[in-house]
Amino acid sequence: FQLQASGGGLVQTGGSLRLSCTPSGLTLDEKAIGWFRQAPGKEREGVSCIDYSGGRTWYLDSVKGRFAISADHAKNTLYLQMTNLKPEDTAVYYCAADDKECSIVAGPYPVYDYWGQGTQVTVSS
């Protein structure tokens, strides 16, 4: 299956973007679905995750209060609403999924089994 992220772009500091991810060949039910990012020269970094079974969410400390993860079961789509963006948020953002819970696969050093092509987010100062 594929996990294609979209919605990235170039914004100024303080701006907003909404990323979307609609998996093909996979339904989002009973999976941990989330986002991680990777900036040039840096390690992969978990951003947010949601457990479909219980709706529990996880956020990287630096994005708490600014980013919101959500899922539309009817559309089989995952979203990441990003507000008050900062230059340090600049990275390629990837949508990811796993059969295990967010508590296992999410975190600052994510270990998802599945991810797809990312979308570039650039925040100018």
CB-CB contact of 82 with 18 (8 Å): yes
Residue 85 has a pLDDT of: 98
* pLDDT for residue 25 is more than 80: no
- What 3-state class would DSSP assign to 104? helix
* pLDDT for residue 26 is more than 80: no
Dist CA 125 CA 110 (whole Å): 28
C-alpha gyration radius of the chain: 13
CA distances from 102 to 14, 84, 86 (A): 28, 25, 25
69-93: average pLDDT: 94
Residue 83 has a pLDDT of: 98
Residue 36 has a pLDDT of: 97
Residue 28 has a pLDDT of: 61
36-58: average pLDDT: 92
- Which DSSP category does 105 fall into? H
Mean pLDDT, all residues of the chain:
92
Residue 30 pLDDT class (50, 70, 90 cuts)? low
- What 3-state class would DSSP assign to 78? strand
